Amino acid sequence: MDKKEIIARRVAKELKNGDVVNLGIGTPTLAANYVPEGVTVIFQSENGMLGIGPAREPGSTDDTYTNAGGALITAIPGASVFDNTMSFAVIRSGRVKTAVLGALEVDEFGSIANWMIPKKSVNGMGGAMDLVVGAKRIIVAMEHTVKGKPKILKKCTLPLTAAREVDMIITELCVIEVDHEKGLTLTELAPGVTVDEVRAATEVPFKVSPDLKTMELM
Amino acid sequence: MINKVTTLDEAMKDIRDGSSIMVGGFLDSGRPDTLERKLADIGARDLTIISMCTGTEKSELYRVFTQGQVSKVIASYIRFNPVSIQMILKDPKSVTLLPMGTLTERIRAGGTGLGGILTAVGVGTLVEEGKQKINIDGRDYLLELPIRADFAIVHAYMADEMGNLVFRGTKRNFNAVMPYSADFVIAEAEHVVKAGEISPDDVVVPGIFVDAVVKV
C-alpha cells in the first residue's frame, strides 16, 4: 500500500452515513474510493454540486458534471446543482460536516498554510479559506514530511489559509488530533510505525494518547 | 417585442481598452469560449479580468493573457495560467486574490443593491490587509466591498429572446452570478429559442439581467 492509499483509506473511516463532505484535490479525493458499502456520503463540490458520484470512465467526454478539480464526474440519485453563491453559502453556514484537504504546513494549534509560497509559487486560495473556516470539522490529509522535512511545525512559516481551524491530521505515519488551545495528541500509528519515528518526522512536540491505537486500514 | 439575440460582432463591439470584464466558468467547465475567443481577436488592452480562475492553458482566455491584453486581475485561483502567476510575482498589486466564496459574494453584492458583505473568511490571513474589521457578537468579520464590471461574458445552455438563461450540470458556477453585476451582460448559449419556449419555472437567470444573447 503506498502512502497515498494509506492516507485515503484512513480518511474514509472518518466519513459517516449522511455526512456532507468536501474532499480537496489530490489525495483527499481518493478517500471517496474507500467509503464502505452501505454508507452514503453526500460529497459537495465548490463549483456548485451536492451528491457527486464516481468519476466518469476514462475517455468519456460527458462534461455535464465536473468536480472542483475539473474532473468529469457523475451524479448520485438525488444530487443537486446550483450556482457558486449557493455553493459557498452551504460551506460558510457549517452545512459541510467534514472538509478534507492537503496542506503545505500545519502548526500545533491547527493553523494551516496551503495556498502560496511567497516569491515562488502562487496558486490562489480557491475555496480553501472558506472551507477551513466554514466546515464543522477540518481534516488535513497529507504526507508527513516533504523531502524529509517536517510539515507539522511549531508555527507555520508560509502565509496562512486560516488560523486555528484544523481538527485532525492524517498522514501515512499516524493520526494526530488537534486541540486549538492545548496542541497535538498522537492517537493512532500506521502499522509498523513507532512513536519515535513520528517524533523524528514532526517539528513540534506532541502528547501520546493513553489509548494509542494502530490505524485500521481495511 | 424584445429580442436580445444578436451577432457576436454586435454583442462585443463596445469592449475597448481599459474595460473591466467578468468572465464566467470554473476551470474548463462552462467557459464562454466563443466570447473569450472574440475578446482575444478584438485585442483590446489594459483589461481588468474578474474571474474564478484565470483560465487554463487550453482556454481561449489564456490567449487574452499571452497577448498582453490584461493589466489587472481579480480572481481566486490562478494556478493553471502561468502568465497570471508571473503577473502576481512581478507586481503583486496587479492581481487581487480572494477566497472563492468572498469573490462570488462581492460580485453578487455588486449587482444586488448591497453595500458590501461581512465574512469571517480571511481573518488572520493576508486577505484581511487593508480591510475594515467588524466585530459582531464576539466574532470578527471582514467588510468586503461590492465588485462590478463594465461587461460580463457568460455561457448558458439555453437562452430565449428575452435573455432568460438556463444552465446544465455544474456549468452554472459563476455564469449564473456575474450577470447581476455588469453594466452590459453578454450570454452565449448552445440553444437559442423564442420567448415562451423556456418555462418560467426553469429560468435560472431572469432575462432582465442579460443585454445580448449570442448563439454558439
Q: Which amino acid is at B120?
A: A
Encode pLDDT of A11-43 as tens digits.
999 999 999 999 998 899 999 999 988 999 999
pLDDT at residue B168 in the model: 98
B→A contacts (Cβ < 8 Å), by residue, are: 26-29, 52-53, 56, 75-79, 85, 88-89, 97-102, 104-105, 108, 119-127, 168-177, 204
* Chain B residues with beta carbon closer than 8 angstroms to that of A66: 26-29, 169-170
Q: Are strands A98-101 and A73-81 parallel, antiparallel or unpaired?
A: unpaired
Is B87 among the domain residues? yes
C-beta of residue A165 within 8 angstroms of C-beta of residue A52: no
Report in angstroms the alpha-carbon separations of A52 from A9, A63, A65, A129, B208. Answer: 19, 13, 8, 21, 32
CA–CA distances in Å: residue A151 to residues A56, A140, A174, B79: 34, 11, 13, 22
Give percent above pLDDT 90 in chain A.
95
The count of domains in chain B is 1
What mean pLDDT is predicted for residues A150-174? Answer: 97
Q: What is the pLDDT of residue A80?
A: 98
- Among B87, B88, B125, B158, most A C-beta atoms within 10 A, so best to mutate, is B125
Is residue A113 over pLDDT 80?
yes
Q: What is the mean pLDDT of residues B89-107?
A: 97
CATH number for B187: 3.40.1080.10
Return the pLDDT at A13: 96
Q: What ipTM was predicted for this assembly?
A: 0.96
- Cβ neighbours of B93 in A, within 8 Å: none
Predicted local distance difference test score (pLDDT) of residue A178: 98
- Model pLDDT, residue B192: 98
Residue B86 lies in a domain: yes
Q: Which amino acid is at B177?
A: V
Do residues A122 and B89 lie in contact, with contact meaning Cβ atoms separated by under 8 Å? Answer: yes
**C-alpha grid cell for residue A139?**
481534516
Amino acid identity of residue A195, one-letter, is V
Q: Tell me the C-alpha distance between B213 and B164, whole Å.
A: 9
Helix, strand, coil percentages for chain B (3-state, nearest 5) = 30, 30, 40
pLDDT on residue A112: 97
C-alpha cell read off for A160: 496562512
- Tell me the per-residue pLDDT of A175-197, one tens digit each, with 9 for 90 and over: 999 999 999 999 999 999 999 99
pLDDT for position A121 = 87
The question of whether A46 is a catalytic residue gets the answer yes
Domain contains B104: yes
Domains parsed from chain A with CATH numbers: 3-214 (3.40.1080.10)
Q: Residue A135: name the closest of A174, A107, A161 by CA.
A: A161
Q: Examine residue B95 and state whether it is found in any structural domain, yes or no.
A: yes
CB contact under 8 A, A161 and B28: no
What are the residue ranges of helices labelled H in A1-95?
3-12, 27-30, 84-92
Q: Tell me what pLDDT residue B190 has.
A: 98
**Cα–Cα dist B117/B109, whole Å:** 7
CB contact under 8 A, B177 and A126: no
| Residue B90 within any structural domain of the chain | yes
**Residue B106 reports pLDDT greater than 80:** yes
Tell which wins on pLDDT, B1 or A11. A11
| Structural domain contains residue B121 | no
All residues of chain B having their beta carbon less than 8 Å from the beta carbon of residue A24 are none
- On the CB side of A131, CA atoms within 13 Å amount to 30
What is the pLDDT at residue A26?
Answer: 87
**Structure-block grid coordinates of residue B108:** 453578487
Say if residue A218's pLDDT is above 80.
no
Residue-range definition of the domain harbouring residue B59: 8-114+146-215
Query: So what's the pLDDT on residue B50?
Result: 98
